[in-house]
Amino acid sequence: MLKPPVPRTSRNTGATQPSASAYEMDTARMGSDPKTSALNGHNQLWAVPNVFMTDGACMASSAFQNPSLTYMALTARACDWAVGEMKKQNL
């Protein structure tokens, strides 16, 4: 019979780490309306234009697989857009 996996624990406290088996997401929704979302379509905060959030905060959920490649793509896309805006002196 297979034994369940042992969760990773903190060396100091013995407590299970929050990110040991989950990907924290959905704390800053991306959207087209600042009244219903925290980020625009370029992962830029509506309230603070020079702040970009390119982690899982903009994603409502993910599949079973690790979303790291998606985070990397979001970051590359946001950086590309930000550089273009900086060249136009809009940021």
Q: What pLDDT sits at residue 3?
A: 63
Closest CA to 26 of 52, 61, 53, 50: 61
Over its length of 91 residues, how does the chain's per-residue pLDDT go in tens digits?
566 665 555 555 555 555 555 667 888 989 999 999 999 999 999 999 999 999 888 888 777 678 888 889 999 999 999 999 999 999 8
Helix/strand/coil (H/E/C) assignment for every residue in 14-76? CCECCCCCCCCCCCCCECCCCCCCCECCCCEECCCCCCECCCHHHCCCCCCCCCHHHHHHHHH
For 71-85, the pLDDT digits (tens) are: 899 999 999 999 999
Q: Give the pLDDT score at 12.
A: 53
